[in-house]
Amino acid sequence: MKKYFLAVDIGASSGRHILGTLENGKIKFDEIYRFPNGMENIDGSLCWNTDALFYEIKQGLKKCRELGKIPVCMGIDTWAVDYVLLDENDCPIGKSYGYRDSRMQGMDTKVYEEISLKELYERTGIQKQIFNTIYQLTADREKEPKRLDQAKSLLMIPDYFNFLLTGVKKTEYTNATTTQLVDPETKDWDSSLIKRLGFPEEIFQEIAVPGTFVGNFTEEIQEEIGFDCQVVLPATHDTGSAVAAIPTEDDQALYISSGTWSLMGTELKKADCSLESMKANLTNEGGVDFRFRYLKNIMGLWMIQSVKKEFDTEYSFSYLCEMASKQTIPSIVDCNDESFLAPDSMIKAVKDYCIKTSQQVPKSEWETAAVIYHSLAECYARTIREIESLTGKTYEKIYVVGGGANAGYLNELTAKYTGCTVYAGPSEATAIGSLLLQMRYAGCFKDLKEARNCVAQSFEIEIYEPENIGGKAS
């Protein structure tokens, strides 16, 4: 009898329920339910509708029952850094703010009044990004102190959904590290840092690693859904699960988890919290089995997604790539510039950057797309040079996983600009990573190496050789 495992993978623009199983040593999966997601403007703030998202989680579970494919366990992953505050009655306090909301502006200055950026990096190894949880909590402290006064629990978004399903509160390790409040040596909350910043210690929950059993459905959920299920922690940070599904154990390879964001890096056994690493703005996010995902967070396909929304005509991403590949505009923008984080118009933001830097201004949507694709590939090449300098290694392979694995033109440019062989796939790496960790919990794999080998055997990987596409860019 088949054992089914359920990955609930919720991204910034959509969520999906993916049922997986092992057949003849290979992973098979089907998407059984999909739903939209996005930040909503509530009284001038960008927020998540967690009630609507939990409703959709339950609808997808009901779909399992309709299909007669009841999972033995399930796991939820989402984006990082955002959280829900609960009061003494376990009710949410106020809004569930999204990481693109503007309330964090100036909060870095407030944090550095208590601890310098250098010391903060030395203590956590986490890349400075203004939307990190540490700055969001500082915004609570400075702008809405009653939220923290009333709070009895803080749960990251996927941990909150796990709590609603099971009644059990746990904070998953990979997501916890993105708060910039976890000690990379102890793998636990940095309590002295939390005190120093004036955050209430008692709201932070026990940290648990991927593969931890959270609990079974509550009786109320069982009655509503129609079955019981074990809830198990994957890497609840979607990138953590995606990296778990990289089809190699080669430590001379880099990865790009390519989607709304491009997370580019390698795996380390020990965090690099050096000044040089900080200056390169690399981060040491927690990974599976306490590996560190040593990476840079690059703006990613969010830029292309935003441009696509501005077009008068609905074009497919493949057509967008095809048209962009025909353009010759040489302009390059800094994909990590804050002007691209949440502009009213991405097309205008790209044009304005080109004007500001005295470069050729794109005149059409296709030229704008070409600028973005080339800029992403150029950013990948710069990031490789930084990582090579800091690790002392030379990298010849890049594994691209996630939705961006399907962006053939970008993969070609990545091979050209970096001089590396690009291995693209699987595109559903986040869900697959979640399934792998659930399967390992259930005893299907003895370790991560065996699980990754199974990914390599289960999915087609497309290869882009740099010498076939014009060689390494200067």
Q: What is the CATH number of the domain that holds 388?
A: 3.30.420.40
Residue 286 and residue 177 in one domain: no
Residue 453 and residue 425 in one domain: yes
Residue 67 and residue 205 in one domain: yes
How far apart CA 435 and CA 429 sit, in angstroms, is: 10
pTM tops 0.85: yes
Residue 146 and residue 270 in one domain: no
- Tokens in use for 129? 């990004």
- Tokens in use for 462? 């497309």
Among residues 236, 263, 296, which one ends one of the domains? Answer: 236
Instruction: Please identify which of the residues 9, 140, 190, 238 carries the catalytic annotation.
Output: 238
Q: Across the strands, what pairs with 237?
A: 78
Do residues 108 and 90 make contact, with C-beta atoms less than 8 angstroms apart? no
Residue 49 and residue 198 in one domain: yes
Domain that holds residue 471: 238-474
Predicted confidence (pLDDT) per residue in 155-167, tens digit: 999 999 999 999 9
Query: Which residues of the chain fall short of a pLDDT of 70?
Result: 468-474
- Tokens in use for 453? 């080998």
Count of domains in the chain? 2
Q: Mark whether 238 is an active-site residue.
A: yes
Predicted confidence (pLDDT) per residue in 149-208, tens digit: 999 999 999 999 999 999 999 999 999 999 999 999 999 999 999 999 999 999 999 999
Q: Could you give the C-alpha distances from 407 to 35, 98, 234, in angstroms and in order?
A: 23, 27, 26
Residue % of the chain over a pLDDT of 90: 91
Residue 119 and residue 224 in one domain: yes
Among residues 221, 236, 251, which one ends one of the domains? Answer: 236
Among residues 181, 204, 236, which one ends one of the domains? Answer: 236
Residue 152 and residue 132 in one domain: yes
Can you list the positions of beta strands (E) in 247-356?
253-258, 262-268, 283-286, 292-298
